Structure 1
């Protein structure tokens, strides 16, 4: 494969030499014509080598650095080495008797940005985030075939702007799974669908947070789960001994999906509340009816849009917390979570502080969480550690 030279603005040279993996368009010194998947050699203004990378456009940037070694060959062996290292790093997960779903390869955190690999009880799911990354699919698929005892491989092409997937069901090779595929996470069951749309049924990055809620913030508690998706937090809370869970989500499908997750864990869903409603409307409804909860889980998407309103975590999270404060009991706990990479934990804490001050209420941060160990990240790329979770006690 022919390697193309690309010159980098001197303001970004040290950043890339120190391990920052994402190539930003503004870092390029001049316009260059590149094809998705091209291996490129980054040079400074004096033509001195900086790094080897590949060109692949996604919402974050235009490519990812692969190596700081000028003599590195980007081939099957390169991908095999990176993926083997990633698998060894997750050895404890592979050997777990209570969890059989986790992240195997976390993009740039494991050395190659632009794709991720998740494991679901013998099945591997590859998420491709750019056409450039997808050009290397044979390397990735053949490596998994060689290194693992996989049952089968599925993929999702997240770069298709139409929002539809080119593959009918994403199946690549091996044996097709029956769906739902029932997996375990901390001995809690989840129904997984590798053949439907972008989402599979549970977000693996919240496994530690869910487990903490089950162990310490559920027994005898009334638990409200907002933006509940398929009710994963609610299932954990119920297993943890919650007196009642309430799951609220705008999507009609969330009702049946939540019932399914309760049912496969042998929980009587009729004893739980599952509400299909705009979460903001539910807050108004709960305030009017003076509902108060012991534990409130607040995990909105970074961006959301309904017929009535738009929500942006970066702009609107503070007001969201103010609404939650009104329906949380004194001594209750708010689990505030966001996957928005546009701000860091320090900024997130200012949202919380401002919300409580404006509500004339006092609080204490009990715990904080970021991504779990299998979602490996780089210190040189803090925005890759996008998850921010705070357990907040409402004191007054």
Structure 2
């Protein structure tokens, strides 16, 4: 049973919640030290008037999420089932798709429950818990999911600090265990997925529209460099789109075997592609020294990364990263500039592009813009939730 706590919050937070802002920011509370993870909060403005019901789940600047503005609505299995069933209705087209069998079913605050995501992989569901607080509702949420869908199996990822008590291979929840790799489809291509192998499953679903655009519009007859390539998903789509050659660069040693596998499940000869295990920043220096140049350069770095020699923060260093890319981009080539940093918006991101090209003494045009695909539903009152920004930039 989850403890319910009646609590007064500061007026600024109360006004935000009345508008529908979903996050409970720490500065909106007078005292959060005594609030246990998973507690249900009856939130009241300074005058004592009810403004909403939420739960405690520590995440970055937030200490929880709004669940309902109905004072009489219980937070129980029926509540979660209703939210999940509504989310599934919004994804009917995805469930009915013949060429895509991997997508997001439930996207946190965009579907009414911050701190929780559920992804679908060809009959298997993957639940990601982003705080100890939301994890405390596990049995209710599982029951709500089971009442809403049929499934082969359910897996989970705990994306919060478990103080060493969580074993990475303990991701199976119920149903049947999958045989991995699980081969799923995306826009007619295939991905090898591992739901039982640590935090990363093999592909980032939020880049689906970008991958399709690269394959269908920008790859035929082109040389493509994919940096921070992870498992080579962009490279697979570029090769499938008729790229003359792809080059995938990532510092992680396992990126070689993972990228090779993704090519192979798509019937693409990995031997004819370049897969390089190397620090991306060192590769830029190498490419410039060797006078290499590419028709398409894909930049999709993590928001923050640290290697032995470099520390990268997208909010501070993206302009320099772009300058490195511009230096090895062919005249009239395309840079696909992407970031998942939620701390700045598309307007600021465009200033990085402008400065990089000005400093490089080259002109450019922005040909395409992308944000999250439709299955990644967001709240218009929580801009940080719509984190993905992708620009297709033509370098003159």
Q: TM range, normalised to the smaller chain?
A: over 0.9
8 A Cα contact 2:26 2:32, kept in partner? no
Does 2:184 align with 1:183?
yes
Instruction: Report the secondary structure of 1:237's partner residue.
Output: helix
Map 1:267-286 → 2, pairs under 5 A: 267-286=268-287
Does 2:373 align with 1:364?
no
Distance 1:14 1:225, change over 3 A: same
**d(CA) in 1 for partners of 2:83, 2:33:** 29
**d(CA) in 2 for partners of 1:105, 1:24:** 22
Deviation (angstroms), 1:11: 2.2
Deviates more, 1:369-378 or 1:163-172: 163-172
Deviation (angstroms), 1:164: 7.6
**d(CA) in 1 for partners of 2:240, 2:167:** 38
Deviation (angstroms), 1:14: 1.7
Map 1:252-291 → 2, pairs under 5 A: 252-291=253-292
8 A Cα contact 2:102 2:186, kept in partner? yes
**d(CA) in 2 for partners of 1:292, 1:184:** 32
Deviation (angstroms), 1:59: 2.2
8 A Cα contact 1:179 1:193, kept in partner? yes
Question: Could you say which residue in structure 1 is the equivalent of 2:57?
Answer: 56
Deviation (angstroms), 1:161: 5.0
| CA RMSD in angstroms, aligned pairs only | 1.2
Q: Residues 279-336 of structure 1, C-alpha deviation per residue, up to 9 Å, x if partnerless?
A: 0000000011111100000000001010001100011001000110000011000000
Deviates more, 1:35-44 or 1:199-208: 35-44
8 A Cα contact 2:26 2:61, kept in partner? no
8 A Cα contact 2:8 2:48, kept in partner? yes
TM normalised by structure 2 equals 0.98
Q: Residues 43-94 of structure 1, C-alpha deviation per residue, up to 9 Å, x if partnerless?
A: 1111111110000112241100001111111111110100000011000000
Instruction: Report the secondary structure of 1:331's partner residue.
Output: strand
Deviation (angstroms), 1:144: 1.9
Q: Residues 92-129 of structure 1, C-alpha deviation per residue, up to 9 Å, x if partnerless?
A: 00000000000000011000011100000000000001
Question: Could you say which residue in structure 1 is the equivalent of 2:13?
Answer: 12
Question: Could you say which residue in structure 1 is the equivalent of 2:158?
Answer: 157
Deviates more, 1:339-348 or 1:28-37: 28-37
Map 1:1-396 → 2, pairs under 5 A: 1-31=2-32, 33-160=34-161, 165-166=166-167, 168-395=169-396
Deviates more, 1:277-286 or 1:54-63: 54-63
Deviation (angstroms), 1:148: 1.1
8 A Cα contact 1:221 1:294, kept in partner? yes
Distance 1:108 1:163, change over 3 A: farther
Instruction: Report the secondary structure of 2:59's partner residue.
Output: coil
Deviates more, 1:24-33 or 1:288-297: 24-33
Q: Residues 12-70 of structure 1, C-alpha deviation per residue, up to 9 Å, x if partnerless?
A: 22212111111111111334512111100111111111110000112241100001111
**d(CA) in 2 for partners of 1:211, 1:167:** 32
Instruction: Kindly tell me the number of residue pairs found equivalent between the two proteins.
Output: 395
TM normalised by structure 1 equals 0.98
Instruction: Report the secondary structure of 1:319's partner residue.
Output: helix
Distance 1:281 1:32, change over 3 A: closer
Instruction: Report the secondary structure of 1:62's partner residue.
Output: strand
Instruction: Report the secondary structure of 1:144's partner residue.
Output: helix
For structure 2, the residue ranges without an aligned partner over 5 or more in a row are: none
Instruction: Report the secondary structure of 1:182's partner residue.
Output: strand
**d(CA) in 1 for partners of 2:168, 2:290:** 47
**d(CA) in 2 for partners of 1:7, 1:141:** 31
8 A Cα contact 1:169 1:196, kept in partner? no
Deviates more, 1:27-36 or 1:244-253: 27-36
**d(CA) in 2 for partners of 1:166, 1:16:** 37
Deviation (angstroms), 1:163: 7.3
**d(CA) in 2 for partners of 1:387, 1:35:** 32
8 A Cα contact 2:101 2:186, kept in partner? yes
**d(CA) in 2 for partners of 1:5, 1:166:** 36
**d(CA) in 1 for partners of 2:232, 2:168:** 28
Deviates more, 1:344-353 or 1:28-37: 28-37
Distance 1:222 1:156, change over 3 A: same
**d(CA) in 2 for partners of 1:102, 1:133:** 22
For structure 1, the residue ranges without an aligned partner over 5 or more in a row are: none
**d(CA) in 2 for partners of 1:371, 1:37:** 29
